[in-house]
């Protein structure tokens, strides 16, 4: 079970690092630059897949941690 947790942890870190940088808009607001932070922007293609895969890995990580804590 620990090996599976380690693999999921490493995959989760890699997938989070692959996601597009959405924080650049927030930085523009703090610096007073024009920003499209509140513009509606849909995820498509690979970006949508990576977001859903990140959510799935996060849920799997959470469930594995709960199961390991109860055993």
50 and 19 in contact (C-beta within 8 Å)? yes
**pLDDT in the model for residue 2:** 92
Determine the longest span between alpha carbons in the chain, in angstroms: 52
Banded pLDDT at 8 (limits 50, 70, 90): very high
Q: What pLDDT is recorded for position 53?
A: 94
Q: What is the predicted pLDDT for the residue at 59? A: 97
Task: Tell me which DSSP letter residue 19 carries.
Answer: S
At 11-61, the pLDDT tens digits run: 999 999 988 765 555 555 566 655 555 556 677 788 889 989 999 999 999
């Amino acid at each position: 079970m620990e090996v599976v947790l380690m693999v999921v942890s490493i995959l989760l870190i890699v997938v989070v690092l692959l996601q597009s940088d959405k924080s650049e808009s927030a930085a523009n607001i703090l610096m007073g630059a024009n920003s499209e932070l509140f513009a509606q922007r849909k995820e498509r293609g690979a970006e949508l897949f990576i977001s859903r895969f990140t959510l799935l890995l996060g849920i799997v990580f959470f469930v594995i941690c709960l199961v390991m804590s109860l055993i």
